[in-house]
Amino acid sequence: MSSASGAATAAGTKPKLAIYWAASCGGCEISILGIDTKILDVAAAFELVMCPCIMDGKVRDIEQLEDGAIAVCLFNGSIRNSEQEYMAQLLRRKSKVLVAFGSCAHEGCIPGLANLHDKQAIFENSYQETESTENPQRVRPQTATTVPEGTLHLPVFYDTVRTLDQTVDVDYYLPGCPPESPKIWEAIQAIVAGNLPPKGTVIGSDTTVCDDCKRIRNVKKVKQFKRTWEIIPDPEICLLEQGLLCCGIATRAGCGALCPQVNSPCIGCYGPNNDVHDFGARLMSAVASVIDADNPKDINAIISQGIPDPVGTFYRFGLAGSLLRRSKRPAGSDGGH
Amino acid sequence: MSQTNFEPKIVGFLCNWCSYRAADLAGIARITHAPNVRIVRVMCSGRVDPTFVLKALSLGADGVMIAGCHPGECHYVDQNYKAMRRYHLLKHTLHAMGVEPDRVRLVWASAAEGQQLAEAIDGLVADVKKLGPLGWSQNWEENGERLHALEEIINEHAEAMEVHA
Ligand code: SF4
Ligand code: SF4
Ligand code: FES
């Protein structure tokens, strides 16, 4: 793999770095800043050409670069509208290495949970039904509005949130919501050194959060799942054994088991390990094996009482990137209206 | 597609020791059943990862059958109990995703129950016929405005895209 810093031109300018956000919360940028004073090393190694969260950069300037002129683009956020899809295409074209940075770009994350609904349902809720909305004329955002100076455009809102690699070709993935700062620093160092793994690699370990968790494990047999607010868990014993649906068993290591350390179950933000096609399927499989019942009636009682929101539990971070990607849409809906 | 000539595609995961033999027996005994099931032989119903079912549905199956030995008779001790738990958990999730419960079914059939397995297959095919095609990938189709919007952005920005040497 050639060194990304090889993108420096003969004139000796620094390789270009772009950091972009699409449908995301901004936490990924905060996590990048979390590498602390090492950010100065990043500034020394790269010329930052775009990062809307912290500096002013123009799309037009990116458009005018030669294809492949950006050495590395860290792209966070999922794709939920046409503007984001355009930026994904543009940055793919202009970047040598495109990294799906963080859970949203990697597997859809929280924005992807909107795939339980479609555009029409989301607009109806946001612009009509919420308590704080008063909209008797049923005004909705328009994608084109003509004013004396010309036509103004808003992006087209999609029915289905997509991951970055469902949209453009991706070189690497950095998991986590957000990726932990030390892991970001490791990845940046690898990029600077040109020490990159094969294309398509999820940069991280291939063990699970359980492997990093110090809690005592005995026998996992659960007769009743509990929500976090229902109990104060014992600080030493495995949370799953105590009935809290801890996702550590199916989640890629990388955070150092942060949540179980503070008595809170892992909710799966680092996503699946290598070779797992569907995080939810993996987690369901693991959770099913701890259910302590052997007939359909008791099994279903435990499930329906303890796991009222299965999609939010098994696919909290991975719905858009899952095998089914979204819920079934009502017959005849095309969202086009 | 009109509902009347809709022939559902069903993927059946049958365990090697009981259900697959039941299917064999049905064949040898010339017991007829609906030809809609594509059978995948697995060593045990406990081998059926929820991933298999999700993959089948996402790739175009209209229904899925998982079949194993009767509880207590699994050749790997209690793996079919594991299959039972997984199945109910998966169904709970599929329901929340809008997949009708009748599309995915777990049945028990011993090696002697060719007739029962054939009836279970007919039953599943009939139920899925009533529901109609699943056509999962159609759920991913984007609203018609998407391509047009992308074209517009590209046109609008085309001038800027010209690289000045
Ligand atoms: S299930 Fe959770 S609490 Fe238990 S060992 Fe794994 S990470 Fe720790
Ligand atoms: S414990 Fe789980 S949810 Fe918490 S930071 Fe780690 S991977 Fe994310
Ligand atoms: S061998 Fe038939 S279900 Fe396990």
Instruction: State the pLDDT at residue A332.
Output: 60
Verify that A180 and A291 share a domain, yes or no: no
pLDDT 10s digits, B48-64:
999 999 999 999 999 99
Q: Say if pTM beats, i.e. exceeds, 0.90.
A: yes
Residue A332 lies in a domain: no
Q: Using a CB-CB distance cutoff of 8 angstroms, which residues of chain B are in contact with residue A322? A: 54
CATH number for position A29? 3.40.50.700
In what side-by-side order are the strands of the sheet with A47-50?
A47-50, A16-21, A70-76, A95-101, A172-174
**CA angle at residue A189 from A188 to A193, to 5 degrees?**
120
CATH number for position B128? 3.40.50
Domain count, chain A: 2
Range of the domain at B85: 7-136
**Ligand 2 pocket, residue A253 CB under 6 Å:** no
- Number of A to B CB contacts under 8 A, please give it: 146
Sequence-ordered strand ranges (E) for B18-114: 37-42, 63-68, 104-108
**Ligand 2 pocket, residue A258 CB under 6 Å:** yes
Verify that A189 and A213 share a domain, yes or no: no
Q: Ligand 2 mean position to B95 CA, how many Å?
A: 27
pLDDT 10s digits, A283-321:
999 999 999 999 999 999 999 999 999 999 999 999 999
Residue A329 lies in a domain: no
Residue B106 lies in a domain: yes
Residue A71 lies in a domain: yes
Residue B83 lies in a domain: yes
Residue A73 lies in a domain: yes
Verify that A186 and A270 share a domain, yes or no: no
Verify that A101 and A55 share a domain, yes or no: yes
Dig out the tokens for B163 from the structure. 């690289």
Residue A122 lies in a domain: no
Contact A64 B157 (CB under 8 A): no
pLDDT 10s digits, A156-168:
999 999 999 999 9
Distance CA A135, CA A26 (A): 29
Range of the domain at A166: 16-110+159-193
Residue A253 lies in a domain: yes
- Count CB-CB contacts under 10 A for residue A236: 8
Residue B64 lies in a domain: yes
Residue A326 lies in a domain: no
Please name which of B40, B41, B38, B49 lies closest in space to residue B16, comparing C-alpha atoms: B41
A270 Cα nearest atom in ligand 2: 7
Verify that A250 and A180 share a domain, yes or no: no
Verify that A242 and A182 share a domain, yes or no: no
pLDDT 10s digits, B82-94:
999 999 999 999 9
Residue B37 lies in a domain: yes
Contact A64 B161 (CB under 8 A): yes
| Closest residue to B54, CB basis, from A291, A303, A324 | A324
Q: Using a CB-CB distance cutoff of 8 angstroms, which residues of chain B are in contact with residue A314? A: 93
A261 Cα nearest atom in ligand 2: 1
Instruction: State the pLDDT at residue B53.
Output: 98
Domain count, chain B: 1
**Beta strand pairing status for B63-68 and A16-21?**
unpaired
Q: Using a CB-CB distance cutoff of 8 angstroms, which residues of chain B are in contact with residue A304? A: 92
Verify that A305 and A238 share a domain, yes or no: yes
Residue B154 lies in a domain: no
Nearest CA in chain B to A120: B143
Q: Ligand 1 mean position to A240 CA, how many Å?
A: 6
Which residues of chain A fall short of a pLDDT of 70? 1-12, 332-337
Q: Is B6 on the interface with A (CB under 8 A)?
A: no
A260 Cα nearest atom in ligand 2: 1
Verify that A169 and A92 share a domain, yes or no: yes
